[in-house]
């Protein structure tokens, strides 16, 4: 993906990483500058699975 500004690219990447982590996937987001240098790294751990509600035995 190509964006006109770094802020737009970072926002899109963070949103995608957040959606993937909510879907249960661990994500490592690595942002790079145009020259290939690493500008930042963010870890987005998978969201914990929702536990089923507790029910009382009859």
pLDDT computed for residue 36 by the predictor: 92
pLDDT computed for residue 41 by the predictor: 92
Q: State pTM to two decimals.
A: 0.69
Q: How many residues does the chain have?
A: 58
pLDDT computed for residue 55 by the predictor: 65
Q: What is the pLDDT of residues 7-51, one digit of tens each?
A: 898 899 999 999 999 888 999 999 888 899 998 899 999 888 765
pLDDT at position 54 over 80: no
Domain ranges of the chain: 6-44
Return the ∠ at Cα 51 (arms to 47 and 56), rounded to 5°: 165
């Amino acid at each position: 993906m190509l964006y006109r500004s770094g802020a737009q690219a970072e926002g899109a990447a963070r949103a995608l990483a957040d959606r993937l982590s909510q879907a249960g996937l661990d994500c490592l987001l690595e942002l790079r500058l145009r020259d290939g240098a690493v500008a930042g790294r963010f870890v987005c751990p998978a969201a914990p699975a929702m536990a089923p509600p507790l029910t009382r035995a009859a």
